[in-house]
Amino acid sequence: MKNCIRYALAFAFGLILATSAWAQWSSDPAKNLALADKVGSDQVQPKVKPLPDGGWWVSWFAPPVGYSVYLQRLLPNGVEQFRHDGLKVAALTNSSTEDYGLDVDTKGNALLAFLDTREGSNQQVTAAKMSPSGKALWGTLGVQLTKGPATHSAPKIAGTSDGDVVVAWTVTGSNNLNEVVLQKLDATGHPLWGKGIVFHEASYNYGLADLHAADNGSVIVSWIREQGFGSNRYIYANKLSSTGTLLWGKHVKVFDGGSLQFGSFPGFSTDGGGGAVFSWYSSSPALQCFAQHIRADGSEAFPHNGSVASTDTTNVRVDPAASYRQATDEVFLFWTEEDSTQSLNGIYAQKFGPKGGRQWGQTGLVIVPLGADSEILPSNVQVGSGALGFWIDMNGFGNASIQAVRLQHDGKIQCAQFPVSTAMSNKGRPAADIVTATSLAAIAFEDDRIGNNGIYIQNVNDDCSLGQK
């Protein structure tokens, strides 16, 4: 009997080792690393953040009851550190999802901000801090930042350089206009900014767009300003010190010429020196992509309202994504180019110099020529002296792949177009990032190869290979 038990334990241990051995980066684009792949249960909306040691935090929403919050930590080789299908951070009853926040603090803990149904029928904003071992450092319920009947939406979170945390969200105020609220928490989750710092304006709606940590304990926040359906939609931003002082004066008007597409809340990235790089596309007066670099003091490096991606007036363009190279003060931009009827589209790219001048020709580089396939949701990360770009190529419903290309600083091809994910399926909501120290990139995405959405991730090495080098 003892021998049987010993053999059973050894067999079980062997299975654990075998499972761990398989749960790592795949070198086959048809077999990406699955993080959450329960059949019959949609798993959606992944976010990914790199860790200084080369590992990764990945979060998403999944049932079984409602859309709960899940989290996974990966080692640099892609091995999952929590149970497969993720660690449940919060068991929620949300029947649908909104945007939420994922970031990393100075100690490598995961930071999450999301809409929470555990405190009553009205959704409140909750922040959670999770240790690398999966411990809920702010308790099982996290820190509830709101209360009452007001409507809250789309919270974001940022781990500041002083070890604290800032959370931002949109709330409907007493005058039925939306406001943006920010609150700072210390390492234990205690609020530091009283009842919060509120951005609002008479007769205007403010809607949170993005939030990131900057220098000296500060954060940069951006939001959309509009007066209701059909009105022009602008991008505003400001920088708050560690004590909540506005460092950019009344507000920086990143874009106030024309209008953003309705429903668009463009993100931004920080420049590593206290400033931020923005990209967006307008719907009026035309579908056009822009980039802007706001420096640490709030000044515009590019012309007001940004530099256009292309001067071509025959085609239109949407969905830009920017990355920034601090060493040369350059911005790299990828976007979807479309013909005037939006029936043909491709992938284009541009590089901007320190003052916003177009470096890759006035109409940009053609990465994928206009064609019948849908080339959508591009992103890019800065690697080496150039950029690694990703996008979804959709030949038809149920037939989409994720493709990539690596460009040198002069726009020449370093790695010609190559596949990242080729499983026959629909794909969506890609989220890409890179570990700067190792130049290891990763892209997480939704994928319905199992008949419903699962969460998958794929690494890309600096030589454009997949899997372990």
Q: What is the CA radius of gyration of the chain?
A: 22
pLDDT digits (tens, 9 = 90+) for 122-146: 899 999 999 999 999 999 999 999 9
Question: Edge-to-edge strand order for the sheet containing 44-50?
Answer: 44-50, 56-62, 68-74, 87-90
Each residue's pLDDT tens digit, 223-251 = 999 998 889 999 999 999 999 999 999 99
Contacts of 173 (CB under 8 A, 6+ apart): 150, 179, 200
- For residue 9, pLDDT over 90 is answered with no
Above 90 in pLDDT, residue 374? yes
Asked whether the beta carbons of 432 and 3 are under 8 A apart, the reply is no
- pLDDT one-digit tens code per residue, 43-90: 999 999 999 889 999 999 999 778 999 999 999 999 999 999 999 999
Does the pLDDT value for residue 212 go beyond 50? Answer: yes
- Rounded CA gap, 112 and 103, in Å? 7
308-353: per-residue pLDDT in tens?
Answer: 999 999 999 999 999 999 999 999 999 999 999 999 999 999 999 9
d(CA 442, CA 119): 35
What does pTM read for this prediction?
Answer: 0.94
pLDDT at 10 exceeding the cut of 80 = no
The pLDDT of residue 177 is 95
Going by pLDDT thresholds of 50, 70 and 90, the confidence category of residue 5 is very low
pLDDT for the residue numbered 23: 60
Q: Distance between CA 250 and CA 365 in Å, rounded? A: 38
Opening angle at CA 58, ends 420 and 33, nearest 5: 40
Residues 282-303 have pLDDT tens digits of 999 999 999 999 999 999 999 9
Q: What is the mean pLDDT of the chain?
A: 94
Share of the chain above pLDDT 90, in %: 88
**88-109 mean pLDDT:** 94
